[in-house]
């Protein structure tokens, strides 16, 4: 079975990449090119990180990345955990990056590397094995630095409402109550009576869509990762025009902080909360947003019986979270961790959600 490699470039490395692709394939490798595919100016991090993630996930074993000098690509690739990208400029550095550093990405500068030299560097880099021994010990030390840095966190925001008797609930829905019950030998045992949509919760597709998946079938990968908090201070509902003013390029998880956060913890229900509109939901789907959280108990307006925003988002496979408390959370990117109760065949579930600064 052929070893699978990934290649990428920006516009400055495009020519060198195109020249080397057939050469690499002639050496017996299976090649995946993830762009760019012409010489129109592009921002290199998009392609570099996509290539690095192919390797980090195991889809490809190694990769070769091309840009102008190679400096920026090496910096970007090495931000991805598990990547050891080596910027090389001659045969010696290419060979040593494999023998001593076990590099899994070779970075070449299209402006500074001639075609014949690049061929020999690639051939050496692909054929040189990692020597192990003392170098393996040093690579393990590098990996330990990476592990420790991944555990270094800044501030943590718990954006989950506290579930308690008498808390805010949707009109007509089950109110939260706690009851103490007797149990031999146990000091305290509490029975909970609440809705699956109490407090901070996830709406499963089955909540609105006939035959839709239940909450226990939501992919956890959608519920964890980089998310963006955007603040909206307007008084109208959030539609396409309002969203177009927000920095949503590349955002897949979005949390909307509105004036709702000022009264999310009040016990009296307010019908005039800020919600999303149907054309706003369609815009988010177009932008590739697959997780949307709002700071009140519904993402739709109060007086709907059709729930168009729910339908648009859930039909597109997006996750809806309602009732997050974003008071005190600044506009920024965060690491999101959203863990709903694993309730079988239910249309929703309370969730504990935290944001951690990157």
pLDDT tens for residues 161-190? 999 999 999 999 999 999 999 999 999 999
Catalytic residue among 60, 67, 230, 338: 67
Among 103, 122, 150, identify where a domain stops.
150
Rounded to an integer, what distance in angstroms lies between the CA atom of residue 146 and that of residue 223? 24
Active site residue 11: no
Among candidate residues 11, 18, 100, 135, the one labeled active-site is 100
Residues 290 and 337 in one domain: yes
**98-112: string of b/e by CB count within 10 Å (b at 16+)?**
bbbbbbbbbbbbbee
Q: What distance in Å separates the CA atoms of residue 259 and residue 274, rounded to the nearest whole number?
A: 7
**Strand partners of residue 229:** 255, 332
Q: Are residues 135 and 233 in the same domain?
A: no
Among 335, 340, 342, 338, residue whose Cα is nearest residue 350 = 340
Look at residue 152 and tell me whether its pLDDT is greater than 70.
no
Of the pLDDT bands very low, low, confident and very high (cuts 50, 70, 90), residue 2 is: confident
Residues 73 and 143 in one domain: yes
Contact present, 324 and 354 (Cβ < 8 Å): no
What is the CATH number for 328?
A: 3.50.30.50
Within this chain, do residues 218 and 247 fall inside the same structural domain, yes or no?
yes
Instruction: CATH number of the domain at 61, please.
Output: 3.40.1400.10
**165 and 143: one domain?**
no
Are residue 121 and residue 196 in the same domain, yes or no? Answer: no
**147 C-beta neighbours (distance < 10 Å), count:** 9
18 is annotated as an active-site residue: no
Helix (H) or strand (E) holding 339: strand 332-340
Which domain-ending residue is among 92, 117, 150?
A: 150
On whether both 287 and 346 belong to a single domain, the answer is yes
How much is the average pLDDT of 2-24? Answer: 96
**Same domain assignment for residues 18 and 114:** yes
Whether residues 112 and 170 share a domain: the answer is no
Q: How confident is the model at residue 197 (pLDDT cuts 50, 70, 90)?
A: very high
Q: Which of 150, 166, 195 is the last residue of a domain?
A: 150
Strand order of the β-sheet with 30-33 is 30-33, 4-9, 62-67, 105-109, 85-87
Distance CA 249, CA 240 (A): 14
Instruction: Give the pLDDT band (50/70/90) at residue 1.
Output: confident
pLDDT at site 100: 97
Residues 179 and 64 in one domain: no
Mean pLDDT of the chain: 95
Give the pLDDT confidence of 228-263 residue by residue, as tens digits: 999 999 999 999 999 999 999 889 999 999 999 999
Give yes or no: residues 263 and 335 share one domain.
Answer: yes
How many Å apart are CA 284 and CA 302, to the nearest integer?
21
pLDDT of residue 318: 97
Describe the crossing of helices 115-127 and 14-26 by its angle, rounded to 10 degrees. 50
Q: What is the pTM of this model?
A: 0.67
134 and 205 within one domain? no
Q: By residue range, what is the domain housing residue 280?
A: 158-357
Number of domains in the chain: 2
């Amino acid at each position: 079975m052929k070893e699978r490699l990934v290649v990428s470039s920006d516009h400055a490395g495009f020519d060198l990449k195109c020249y080397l692709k057939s050469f690499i394939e002639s050496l017996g490798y299976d090649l995946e090119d993830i762009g760019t595919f012409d010489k129109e100016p592009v921002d290199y991090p998009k392609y570099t990180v996509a290539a690095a993630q192919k390797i980090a996930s195991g889809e490809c074993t190694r990769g070769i990345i091309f840009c102008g000098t190679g400096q920026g690509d090496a910096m970007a690739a090495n931000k991805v955990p598990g990547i050891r990208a080596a910027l090389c400029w001659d045969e010696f550095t290419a060979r040593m990056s494999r023998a001593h550093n076990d590099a899994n990405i070779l970075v070449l500068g299209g402006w500074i590397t001639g075609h014949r030299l690049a061929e020999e560097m690639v051939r050496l880099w692909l054929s040189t094995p990692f020597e192990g021994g003392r170098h393996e010990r040093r690579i393990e030390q590098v990996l330990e630095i990476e592990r420790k840095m991944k555990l270094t966190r800044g501030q943590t925001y718990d954006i989950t409402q506290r579930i308690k008797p008498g808390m805010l609930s949707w009109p007509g829905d089950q109110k939260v109550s706690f009851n103490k019950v007797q149990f031999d030998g146990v000091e305290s045992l509490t029975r909970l009576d609440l809705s699956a949509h109490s407090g901070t919760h996830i709406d499963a597709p089955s909540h609105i869509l006939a035959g839709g998946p239940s909450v226990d079938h939501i992919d956890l990968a959608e519920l964890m990762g980089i998310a963006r908090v955007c603040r909206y201070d307007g008084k109208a509902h959030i539609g396409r025009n309002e969203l177009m003013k927000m920095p949503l390029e590349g955002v897949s998880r979005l949390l909307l902080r509105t004036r709702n956060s000022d009264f999310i913890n009040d016990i009296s229900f307010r019908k005039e909360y800020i919600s999303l509109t149907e054309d706003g939901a369609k815009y988010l789907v177009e932008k590739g947003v697959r997780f949307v959280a709002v700071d009140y108990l519904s993402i739709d307006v109060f007086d709907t019986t059709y729930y168009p925003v729910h339908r648009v988002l859930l039909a597109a496979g997006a996750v809806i979270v309602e009732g997050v408390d974003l008071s005190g959370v600044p506009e920024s990117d965060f690491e999101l961790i959203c863990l709903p109760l694993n309730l079988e065949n239910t249309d929703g579930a309370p969730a504990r959600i935290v944001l951690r600064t990157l």
